[in-house]
Amino acid sequence: MARSLPKPPKEVDLHADAFLPDLEAYETDELLAASLTLLREQLDAAIYWGYTEIRFVHGKGKGVLKRAVYEELSYYKESGAIARYYPSYKNEDIVVVVIGL
């Protein structure tokens, strides 16, 4: 059986300017939604490919993206899809998601 999801990178930048070409075409809430969609897609792909961990860059800013990312990850943890998540020890702008135990 061929795998249908492309392998995600080990670190994913969730800032909209990293993956959307024309930021001016989006409202703020649409940018946040796009970032969360990317998080879900890449995390689901990492789970699918059997990664033990993946990192997401949420940055500092006002903390809106960070709060949304941590809230989304809490759902994944509660469902048992991931083991845990925590801020990177080297850079608080990154969250490390541990998929396997």
CATH number of the domain enclosing 64: 3.30.1370.110
Q: Is residue 56 part of a domain?
A: yes
Q: Is residue 7 part of a domain?
A: no
Q: Is residue 83 part of a domain?
A: yes
> What per-residue confidence (pLDDT) applies to 2?
57
HSE-CB at 43 with a 13 A cutoff on CA atoms is 29
Q: Is residue 6 part of a domain?
A: no
Q: Is residue 42 part of a domain?
A: yes
Beta strands in the chain (DSSP E): 11-13, 53-57, 84-87, 94-98
Total domains present in the chain: 1
pLDDT of 1 strictly over 60: no
Q: Is residue 57 part of a domain?
A: yes
pLDDT of 61 strictly over 80: no
Q: Is residue 24 part of a domain?
A: no
Residue 22 to residue 19: CA distance in whole angstroms: 9
Domain range for 94 = 32-98
Q: Is the dihedral of CA 46, 49, 41, 9 positive or negative?
A: positive
Q: Is residue 17 part of a domain?
A: no
Q: What average pLDDT score do residues 77-94 get?
A: 95
pLDDT band at 60 (very low <50, low <70, confident <90, very high): confident
Q: What length does the chain have?
A: 101
